[in-house]
Structure 1
Amino acid sequence: MDYINSLALLVSVYIASLVSPGPNFIIVTNTSMTVSRAAGLFAGLGLAIASLTWAIMAMAGLGFLLTHFEWLHVMLQVAGALYLIWLGLKMIRNAAKPLKPTGPSEVSWRSAMRRAYVVSMTNPKSVAFFGSIFALVIPAHAPVWLYCLIALTCFLLSALWYCGLAFFFSNPRVSAGFLRFKASIERVMGAALILIGGRLLLVR
């Protein structure tokens, strides 16, 4: 029963972190609206795989490493901040450009998945969550089946949430509304990424 309670606590904490807006949200919604539904879904899948990676690393002792090796935490934070700033600048630079229809080709879905994965793996929010709260809530010396269940749960919840966002924001009506305000929306999204990245560089 203690393991079930621990799993329930982990799930509730993870859902709260999952639905809070951040770089992951921006990436999957922007990809869904500017590329295609398929690309958005693959971006969501990339984020889900990143969540699985983070969960496995947390259970393997990520919290211990980040606590005892401050340089590793700083390196991950700086790398994530610079990547977010780069994405934000790129988004602002391309905001005024008209959309070019892009089919769900092999290159586009791989690129969408890879970019989303990198964003999540360098997202300081993920580092903070999985390296502290998540790692602390995981019960010590738990059976292997519980660790497998935790990893699978994180993957499924992340996939459901982000792929659901991809479906919604790739809806023709939502996309049509986006096209009317494309430049403004992308500038705001890009500025948000730059602000998040800049704040992470300043506050360490």
Structure 2
Amino acid sequence: MNEITTLLTLLTVHVIALMSPGPDFALVVQNAGRYGRQTGISIALGLSLGILLHSILSLTGASLLIHQQPMLFATLQAAGGCYLLWLGIGAVKGVLLPILRPASSPLKTATPLRVIANRKQALAKGFTTNILNPKALVFFLSLLSTLVPVDMSFGGKVTAIAILWVTSFSWFAMLAWLLTGKRLQKKIQQWTPCIDGICGVLFVTIGSMILFNLIQQP
């Protein structure tokens, strides 16, 4: 398999993985429609930077070292699971509180809490969500170790990393751009509680599964 074929295969697999619903996808959907296009694109940049770091760590062998150190990998899993669980609980709580709060205090429920105040926070949230996801570490380690041969040229490896980063940013930025169109944004804002609830349940489910699998390990 020559390098061009390898890179095309890598691109295809990565695009399919990006389109699959997961924490990264849910984070863009949950926040872009609510906080606007710039916030959505900042989250996309943060997510893609996390993927860039995962790619570099995988190709340099650092991810393999982390994966082969039980305590270190368990710590990463615990941190990632807790972070996703925290995101999920916060989203679900934001949906339930206005419902459960007494009707006698309407002023307190009139304005929803803005969890992202600026672009730097959005970028940081995107980066943290991706880099703390242990499934992402395992995915990129498996993907790159399987498709990228050890003897691939330095230029080929740099190109592989660039493909993963550019494709990731382009996909999430396009998603944020589409979700913040005027017509669609109005509809999304109407369905914000439902979207937050679904994304919150997704975060809680994935985070709980990570922690449960961690506890079940001998």
- TM-score, normalization by structure 1: 0.90
Look up the equivalent residue of 1:84 and give its one-letter code: L
Check whether the contact 2:47–2:126 (CA below 8 A) recurs between aligned residues.
yes
Relative to structure 1, is the Cα distance of residues 116 and 67 closer, same or farther in structure 2, using a 3 angstrom cutoff?
closer
What is the distance in 1 between the residues matched to 2:144 and 2:112? Answer: 41
Q: Provide the rounded CA distance (Å) in 2 between the counterparts of 1:79 and 1:8.
A: 34
Residues 147-156 or 89-98, more deviating: 89-98
| Structure 1 portions without partners, runs of 5+ | none
Q: Partner residue of 2:50? A: 50
Offset at 1:74?
1.7
Q: Secondary structure at the match of 2:118?
A: helix
* AA partner of residue 153 (structure 2): P
Q: For the Cα contact (< 8 Å) 2:54–2:63, is it kept in 1?
A: no
- Confirm or deny that 1:134 pairs with 2:144: yes
Q: For 1:11-26, what aligned pairs fall within 5 Å after superposition?
A: 11-26=11-26
Q: CA deviation at 1:124?
A: 2.5
Cross-structure match for 1:180: 190
Displacement of 1:82 in angstroms is: 0.4
Corresponding position of 1:197: 207
Give the paired residue count.
201
- Distance, in Å, in 1 between the alignment partners of 2:209 and 2:152 is 37
Q: CA deviation at 1:62?
A: 3.6
Higher mean alpha-carbon deviation, 78-87 vs 168-177, is at 168-177
SS in structure 2 of the partner of residue 140 of structure 1: coil
Cα distance change of structure 1 residues 63 and 136 upon mapping to structure 2, 3 Å threshold: farther
Give the secondary-structure state (helix, strand or coil) at the position aligned to 1:21: coil
Are the equivalent residues in 1 in contact too, given 2:63–2:137 (CA < 8 A)? no
Shift in CA distance, 113/73, structure 1 to aligned 2, threshold 3 Å: same
1:61 matched to which residue of 2?
Answer: 61
Query: What is the CA–CA distance in structure 2 between the aligned matches of 1:182 and 1:158, rounded to whole Å?
Result: 25
Q: Verify the 8 A CA contact 1:62 1:131 in the aligned structure 2.
A: no
Q: 1:116, 1:136 → 2: CA distance?
A: 27
Distance 2:86 2:113 in 1: 24
Task: Give 1:91-102 correspondences, 5 Å limit.
Answer: 91-95=91-95, 96=98
CA distance in 2, matches of 1:70, 1:143: 31
Deviations 1:68-115 (A, max 9, x none): 21222222111111000101111122234566698x9xx610000000
In structure 2, the gaps of 5 or more residues are 99-108
**Structure 1 counterpart of 2:37:** 37
Identity %: 24
RMSD of aligned alpha carbons: 2.1
Indicate conservation of the 8 Å contact 1:3/1:139, yes or no. Answer: no
State how far apart, in whole Å, the 1-side matches of 2:122 and 2:67 are: 32
Q: Give yes or no for contact 2:80–2:133 (8 Å, CA) kept in 1.
A: yes
Q: What one-letter code is carried by the residue in structure 1 that aligns with 2:118?
A: S
SS of the aligned residue for 1:94 comes to helix
Greater gyration radius: 2
